[in-house]
Amino acid sequence: MVLVWRPRVAATSYVHRRRVPSIFSSCLLGSRAWRLPSLPAPFRLLGDLGPPLPTPSVGTSSLGLPFSVGRQTNRKRKFILSMLPQRCGRLKPAENRGRAMEHVTEGAWESLQVPLHPRVLGALRELGFPHMTPVQSATIPLFMKNKDVAAEAVTGSGKTLAFVIPILEILLRREEKLKKNQVGAIVITPTRELAIQIDEVLSHFTKHFPQFSQILWIGGRNPGEDVERFKQHGGNIIVATPGRLEDMFRRKAEGLDLAICVKSLDVLVLDEADRLLDMGFEASINTILEFLPKQRRTGLFSATQTQEVENLVRAGLRNPVRISVKEKGVAASSTQKTPSRLENHYMICKADEKFNQLVHFLRSRQQEKHLVFFSTCACVEYYGKALEALLKKVKILCIHGKMKYKRNKIFMEFRKLQSGILVCTDVMARGIDIPEVNWVLQYDPPSNASAFVHRCGRTARIGHGGSALVFLLPMEEAYINFLAINQKCPLQEMSLQRNTIDLLPKLRAMALADRAVFEKGMKAFVSFVQAYAKHECSLIFRLKDIDFAGLARGFALLRMPRMPELRGKQFPDFEPVDIDTDTIPFKDKIREKQRQKLLEQKRKERSENEGRKKFIKNKAWSKQKAKKERKKKMNAKRKKDEVMCCSLFFKLHLKTKGLRAWWHTPLIPALGRQR
């Protein structure tokens, strides 16, 4: 079921026949009749997506723009008025459309209200998509009819094609054909893996349209090569991550003036819009939008529409339409974000039992494809190494955000595998379409509820079945009800396996044999504790309730690390190894040689410092005593002055019988001078 929502428009309000510059989405005009709601920083910077349609609760001026209470000077008002187009024409009343609710279901591509190009239909047949998904049937016609869309749909519902097809159709319908270096569409994604995937889908269509060139700009590649590739082959459609796209706008010295190339832009798509509006991407998105033309179509796509995205839809998009896709059988008021064919499970186990349960689960399903999510990069490094040693018959790959150049290669390798395990962080949680993932295992719960939905959405995609399992500590059991209420995501309990093998002694033996494993375990423990302390659901995930001894045993630590969170605490239930951990060597001989060299230098420095006595300049006892007495007198005088001042204030107040004379007394600055 698809709900198409259009903002309510007042019958008495006015809109322009021509679009006006988007400066009016953030400018303040008119009288003091009404105050615009203050938007968070990400939406102030995204205001240039266009002016909002007036709503019944918003007063409008004669120009069809919202009133504001803000104190505007005549100079600023004149400047804003000077930015109006010279030929706006007469203003006409807008239709009183109110709220429109439309139910859209799947159908053949030929049944669309707007006919598609024959070669687009041919590409869809080659990909094996004879029918549309609900989000595609609802979004494509509106996007092609010059609407700005904000699409919310469950994971794996086909959102990529919902914007790839309109991009091609809009560019095909241009009056002036695009030249080689003219950019007609930009797709911005939060991660390079998602950008690679979109570029791959787009290439299936552009091979049928040789007049269009596409280019992929992501991190982990040489930016100079990207510049040369654009100069030689052009890029009518750009798929990019925010950081690399921002960098390209600044490479004018290398012969790439991207600001001129994007003047022909028709379509901007923000995929995983809620993630792109996070604070980490704010500066990059702000810089990019400053270069883009205001007259364009904008699409926001995500599985979760946060309040920030809703504010952007109301305040930033031109002629916006919001599309919300619900699962069949789900009430319209519900907000379930997971596919109906996804089976969600949870397992309650202690911290020192989680790893044994995980390995037992993976061993019993060696012929399947799994994603295992951890909360930090250090945990991925450590547990990935441990799983490689314990599951030798299974292909295990690791990927996290700190990998620069390996990520793309690892991602493509795992996509081609028939079975295997990918150990990863939330860098793989959004938008990634990996074929035939059977299980999504969340060893650590995510930092927020929306990330839980996106993690689970890596399986059960495009109508297929799939399963997900999250491991929870006994004190985290309330998280189950929280997900059911917050995300309408019910979970079924999976019982513990009682006859599991205790593998933690093997992990300890690995740490004793190789210092690299020992150090990775310590870093993983520290990073996990620090991430746990910053969890958004702090009422459920409370650091003070953690059994640190059991957690350290679960990480197979040889000793407790030194960190602020553990300062002053005793752990009688944890038994450290009875050896000096500084004597644990690296298996890598080169690293061990370097370590021994550093240890030798430290020993020399320590011995040299021990032989020297630290020189402390002697101070006369009489001077120290005089200083103490002087300080004592100053403190006594200050207290005496404060008492006198208070009494004078009180007397003056009684004499004047009012606060005005008491407030304006000159004794306050006098007291400051005495001090």
20: which DSSP letter?
P
Consecutive H or E run containing 323:
strand 320-325
CB atoms near residue 597 (< 10 Å): 9
Q: Mapped to the 3 state alphabet, what secondary structure does 129-163 carry?
A: CCECCHHHHHHHHHHHCCCEEEEECCCCCCHHHHH
Consecutive H or E run containing 439:
strand 439-442
Q: What is the phi/psi pair of residue 362, to 5°?
A: -70, -35
How would DSSP label each residue in 445-463?
Answer: --SSHHHHHHHHTTSS-TT
CB atoms near residue 57 (< 10 Å): 10
Tokens matching residue 543: 């650091």
Is the CB of residue 187 less than 8 Å from the CB of residue 198?
yes
**What are 249-260's pLDDT values in tens digits?**
999 888 889 999
Q: In which residue are the tokens 């929306």 written?
A: 450
pLDDT over 50 (residue 571)? yes
586 Cβ partners below 8 Å, 6+ apart? 514, 515, 516, 592, 595
Tell me whether domains 109-325 and 342-503 share a fold: yes
**What are 144-199's pLDDT values in tens digits?**
988 899 988 877 788 899 999 999 999 999 999 999 999 999 999 988 889 999 99
d(CA 31, CA 468): 55
Percent of the chain with pLDDT over 90: 48
Q: How far is CA 307 from CA 191, 304, 313, 317, 530, in A?
A: 22, 10, 10, 15, 27
458 against 239, higher pLDDT: 239
Residue range 298-325: mean pLDDT, rounded: 76
Amino acid at 668: I
d(CA 551, CA 544): 13
Per-residue pLDDT band for 204 (boundaries 50, 70, 90) equals very high
Is the CB of residue 458 less than 8 Å from the CB of residue 428?
yes
Q: What is the pLDDT of residue 205?
A: 96
How would DSSP label each residue in 264-279?
Answer: G--EEEEETHHHHTSH
CB atoms near residue 284 (< 10 Å): 19
Tokens matching residue 599: 């240890």
Per-residue pLDDT band for 209 (boundaries 50, 70, 90) equals very high
Per-residue pLDDT band for 31 (boundaries 50, 70, 90) equals very low
Percent of the chain with pLDDT over 70: 75
Per-residue pLDDT band for 68 (boundaries 50, 70, 90) equals very low
Closest CA to 378 of 236, 615, 561: 561
Q: Which of 224-233, 306-315, 410-419, 467-476 has the lowest mean pLDDT?
A: 306-315
Listed by start position, the domains of the chain span 109-325, 342-503, 628-674
Residue range 626-649: mean pLDDT, rounded: 82
d(CA 306, CA 304): 6
522: number of CA atoms within 13 Å, CB side?
15
pLDDT over 70 (residue 345)? yes
Q: What is the pLDDT of residue 419?
A: 94
Q: What is the phi/psi pair of residue 652, to 5°?
A: -65, -40
Is the CB of residue 197 less than 8 Å from the CB of residue 433?
yes
Q: In which residue are the tokens 């079924």 written?
A: 492
Residue range 219-241: mean pLDDT, rounded: 93
- Please state, rounded to an integer, the average pLDDT across all residues of the chain: 79
C-alpha 107: how far from chain center: 34
Most confident of 27-31, 284-288, 363-367: 363-367
How would DSSP label each residue in 69-136?
Answer: -S---HHHHHHHHHTS-TT----EEPP------------BGGGSSSPPPHHHHHHHHHHT--B--HHH
Q: What is the pLDDT of residue 312?
A: 64
**What are 393-443's pLDDT values in tens digits?**
999 999 998 887 788 889 889 999 999 999 999 988 887 888 889 999 999
d(CA 172, CA 668): 76
pLDDT over 90 (residue 20)? no
331 against 267, higher pLDDT: 267
Domain 109-325 in this protein, CATH class: alpha beta
**What are 525-544's pLDDT values in tens digits?**
999 999 999 998 989 999 99
395 against 650, higher pLDDT: 395
214 against 111, higher pLDDT: 214
Closest CA to 375 of 221, 551, 233, 499: 551
Residue range 260-266: mean pLDDT, rounded: 95
Q: What is the phi/psi pair of residue 325, to 5°?
A: -100, 125
429 against 86, higher pLDDT: 429
pLDDT over 60 (residue 19)? no
pLDDT over 70 (residue 41)? no
d(CA 239, CA 192): 10
Q: What is the pLDDT of residue 469?
A: 96
253: which DSSP letter?
G
Is the CB of residue 97 less than 8 Å from the CB of residue 319?
no
CB atoms near residue 257 (< 10 Å): 12
Length of the chain in terms of residues written: 675
Tokens matching residue 297: 């179509």
pLDDT over 80 (residue 86)? no
pLDDT over 70 (residue 335)? no
The structure's pTM equals 0.64
Per-residue pLDDT band for 22 (boundaries 50, 70, 90) equals very low
CB atoms near residue 52 (< 10 Å): 22
How would DSSP label each residue in 287-303?
Answer: HHHHHS-SSSEEEEEES
Domain 342-503 in this protein, CATH class: alpha beta
Residue range 274-300: mean pLDDT, rounded: 83
Q: What is the pLDDT of residue 520?
A: 97
d(CA 30, CA 59): 9
Helix spans in 566-620 (H): 589-611
Consecutive H or E run containing 312:
helix 307-315
Consecutive H or E run containing 373:
strand 369-373
150 Cβ partners below 8 Å, 6+ apart? 273, 299, 300, 305, 309, 312, 313, 317, 320, 321, 322, 323
d(CA 484, CA 502): 33
